[in-house]
Amino acid sequence: MNTQKFPAFDPALLSQAPKLMLEHFTKNLSPDVTKSMAQIADPNKWLSWFSSVPGQPATPPISDAQLNEMGIKLVPEALQKLQQEYTGQLTTLWEDAIAARTPVLADRRFNDAAWASNPMYAFNAAVYLLNAHYLTALADAVDAPVKTKRKIGFAIQQMIDAMSPSNFLVTNPVAQQLLVDSKGESLTRGMAHLLADMQKGKISQTDETAFEIGKDVATTEGSIVFENPLFQLIQYKPLTKTVHERPLLIMPPCINKFYIMDLQPQNSLVRYAVEQGHTVFLISWCNADESNAKTTWDQYVEEGGIQAIHVVQEISGQDQVNALGFCVGGTILSSALAAMYARGEKPLASLTLLTALLDFTDTGILDVYIDDAQISKREQEIGSGGLMPGRDFASAFSSLRPNDLVWNYVESNYLKGEEPTAFDLLYWNADSTNLPGPMFCYYLRNMYLENSLKEPGKLTVAGERLDLGKIAAPTFIFASREDHIVPWTSAYASTTLLNPKQASRNRFVLGASGHIAGVINPPAKNKRSYWTNPNVGVAAEKWLDGATEHPGSWWTEWSGFLTEHGGKKVAAPRKPGNTQYKLIEPAPGRYVKVRAE
């Protein structure tokens, strides 16, 4: 194995950090996207053109032939208007600088007083914000298919965010002052952080030494009662004397570790469900390695989802269970249930889906990574065997919010030499999971690219033709309003796929915030809000127009739904498992502790 060697100390490397990080976070884009980035998203070409004299002949930096080749049009009138507006605002900004008027920097990256106190830095930041505004406007002005336009906008935004003056030591007055005040120590620490992160292949967002799985996170008491190469099954210890007779099975995403649902006692959805009197089982997926590098989507459904449901039925003695799927866990769970109903089984008392996609018509910003070229490349590399590295997932998701998840840490960790703080959510976020290549490629092509799951009978999984409409059970569907991974309108589309002839069995709840924060919102904190509307037989926006907003957490709404379908109260189990499924080890088990390399 070749190990990359790094210089012991090279201050110039800090100035290259943004470039290195940009290359890292865009390396997985397909050739057509990188071509668009090279030709459309070159800020310097466009800004030079913007700055040309209005009214004089000026040729845009890209020819009509090049644009047509990419299926793109730029309306000349719109470009001329942008050029005139840009030149006018740049002139005003320059006049303010000459008159020593400090520009308003309405961006949190430039909140520190050091930016406004020095006219040169203030002007530089103001010009950057002006350029960013008009490059974004340029992307909006592009006349192109939605998918192409979204990719161009994404590419330009990556460039804009990377080129912020706050990301470079030479243009960041706050970092420069720390360098002086610390007599160079901040630069030394920053360099050490950068080199360490380059060795790890990721940016450190938190102090990963501050947490231990099973001690600081994933602490709800329970036992492993079943395992196979794909997952361990946790049965949690009751916290009430009586429980509902029908158990709850939770299927978290396999792209991340399960303990996002059990971070700390005060924000654990797992513990909350146990406290409400439910016998809770949870799947802890394996962190794939070479031993399961050929595992398929069918196996995740058959040996994962279906197997888990059967084990929970056998341990609880109940024919029907309440099942919850989160994100891709909801997609796997729904596939498993569709196969079971096709076999004549009726295992559900109720179904809960949290920020999950069944209809992949609109996949939001993730769509920039989805096209036949990119998926074919993955299939060639790992479709027949191999691993989709967890670090690639982390890079892709970080690129969706680069200022929060990338450049914020470039500035604080590298330019300022600050130590990352301890934060449980970011520790979980950094604890990546590998996936088997065949499973992942099937998921990308058949779900994201071809959107086949929503079509009755189109997919054959676990030997059965899948029809989501055959899943017959009361359903609770939750989405987050600001979710950039699963747009809430796409999650709402599940209401037309499940119980299609009995829409009244579907309940849709919309929460505030994003993909994770919207889900993990315990009642005790009394934060955010959620919306309800019993009329799910209408278009998404019309549903929202008629919805009622409630303060606080949606968990209480879901708790009522679970109670409704939990069955009668019985004495809580005195010990985990049964005579067939015995205690293997205490929760959280071994699988969740395996780190992706």
3-state SS of 546-593 is: CCEEEECCCHHHHHHHHHHHCCCEEECCCCCCCCCCCCCEECCCCHHH
CA angle 7, 15, 114 (to 5 degrees): 135
Q: Out of 168, 200, 232, pick the residue that ends a domain.
A: 200
Q: What is the rounded distance in angstroms from the CA atom of residue 451 to the CA atom of residue 447?
A: 4
163-194 b/e (C-beta count within 10 Å ≥ 16 → b): bbbbbbbebbbbbbebbeeeeeebbebbbebb
- Do 24 and 115 lie in one domain? The reply is yes
Contact 313, 321 (CB under 8 A): yes
User: Is 87 domain-assigned?
Assistant: yes
User: 377-394 pLDDT, tens per residue?
Assistant: 999 999 999 999 998 888
Question: Dihedral of CA 287/291/295/301: which sign?
Answer: negative
The CA distances from residue 251 to 123, 308, 330, 428, 446, in Å, are: 52, 9, 7, 17, 21
Break the chain down into helix, strand, coil percent, rounded to 5.
50, 15, 40
Contact 94, 134 (CB under 8 A): no
What pLDDT band is residue 64 in, cutting at 50, 70 and 90?
low
User: Is 108 domain-assigned?
Assistant: yes
Q: What is the mean pLDDT of residues 463-475?
A: 97
- Do 454 and 552 lie in one domain? The reply is yes
Return all residues near 253 (Cβ < 8 A) that are at least 6 apart. 326, 327, 328, 329
- Do 354 and 309 lie in one domain? The reply is yes
Count of CB atoms within 10 A of residue 11's CB?
A: 13
What pLDDT band is residue 78 in, cutting at 50, 70 and 90?
confident
- Do 321 and 186 lie in one domain? The reply is no
| Chain-centre distance for alpha carbon 1 | 32
Query: Which of 51-60, 236-245, 511-520, 577-586 is predicted least confidently?
Result: 51-60
- Do 443 and 366 lie in one domain? The reply is yes
User: Is 251 domain-assigned?
Assistant: yes
- Do 250 and 285 lie in one domain? The reply is yes
Residue with tokens 């249930």: 337
- pTM of the complete model beyond 0.75: yes
Contact 560, 580 (CB under 8 A): no
DSSP letter (8 states) at residue 447? I
Please name the amino acid found at residue 414: Y
Q: What is the pLDDT of residue 7?
A: 31
pLDDT(27) > 70: no
- Do 249 and 194 lie in one domain? The reply is no
What pLDDT band is residue 68 in, cutting at 50, 70 and 90?
low
Segments forming the whole domain that contains residue 245: 222-389+432-593
- Do 147 and 255 lie in one domain? The reply is no
Please name the amino acid found at residue 229: P
Q: What is the pLDDT of residue 347?
A: 98
Contact 491, 370 (CB under 8 A): no
Q: What is the rounded distance in angstroms from the CA atom of residue 172 to the CA atom of residue 415?
A: 8
DSSP letter (8 states) at residue 596? P
Query: Which of 8-17, 176-185, 215-224, 260-269 is predicted least confidently?
Result: 8-17
User: Is 405 domain-assigned?
Assistant: no
Q: Out of 167, 200, 233, pick the residue that ends a domain.
A: 200
Q: Which one, of 139, 142, 154, lies nearest residue 30 by Cα?
A: 154
DSSP letter (8 states) at residue 451? -
Please state the domain count of the chain: 2
User: 199-257 pLDDT, tens per residue?
Assistant: 888 899 999 899 999 999 999 999 999 999 999 999 999 999 999 999 999 999 999 99
User: Is 550 domain-assigned?
Assistant: yes
User: Is 339 domain-assigned?
Assistant: yes
pLDDT(25) > 60: no
Q: What is the rounded distance in angstroms from the CA atom of residue 247 to the CA atom of residue 316?
A: 7
What are the phi and psi torsion angles at 335 (to 5°)?
A: -65, -45
Q: What is the pLDDT of residue 11?
A: 39
C-alpha neighbours within 13 Å on the C-beta side of residue 413: 23
Given the residues 254, 286, 327, 441, the one annotated as active site: 327
Q: What is the rounded distance in angstroms from the CA atom of residue 454 to the CA atom of residue 299?
A: 20
Return all residues near 368 (Cβ < 8 A) that are at least 6 apart. 29, 33, 150, 151, 154
The CA distances from residue 512 to 227, 431, 467, 508, 546, in Å, are: 36, 25, 31, 14, 16
> What kind and span of H or E run contains 411?
none
* 327 assigned to active site: yes
Q: What is the pLDDT of residue 53?
A: 44
Residue with tokens 């006349």: 143
User: Is 7 domain-assigned?
Assistant: no
DSSP letter (8 states) at residue 248? E
Mean pLDDT of the chain: 89
Residue with tokens 């008159």: 99
- Do 298 and 447 lie in one domain? The reply is yes
pLDDT(1) > 60: no
- Do 173 and 282 lie in one domain? The reply is no
DSSP letter (8 states) at residue 213? B
| Backbone angle region of 306, left / alpha / beta, with phi > 0 → left and psi within -120 to 50 → alpha | alpha
User: Is 396 domain-assigned?
Assistant: no
Angle at which helices 76-98 and 43-50 cross, to 10°: 80
Query: Which of 4-18, 223-237, 263-277 is predicted least confidently?
Result: 4-18
Q: Which one, of 261, 267, 271, 266, lies nearest residue 238 by Cα?
A: 271
Q: What is the CATH number of the domain that holds 345?
A: 3.40.50.1820
- Do 252 and 184 lie in one domain? The reply is no
- Do 444 and 503 lie in one domain? The reply is yes
Please name the amino acid found at residue 450: E
Q: What is the pLDDT of residue 202?
A: 84
Question: Dihedral of CA 183/185/186/192: which sign?
Answer: positive
High-pLDDT (> 70) share of the chain, % = 88
| Backbone angle region of 75, left / alpha / beta, with phi > 0 → left and psi within -120 to 50 → alpha | beta
Alpha helices in 300-451 (DSSP H): 307-316, 328-342, 372-382, 390-400, 402, 408-409, 424-430, 437-443
pLDDT(18) > 60: no
Upstream peptide bond of 588 is cis (omega within 30 degrees of 0): yes
What pLDDT band is residue 67 in, cutting at 50, 70 and 90?
low
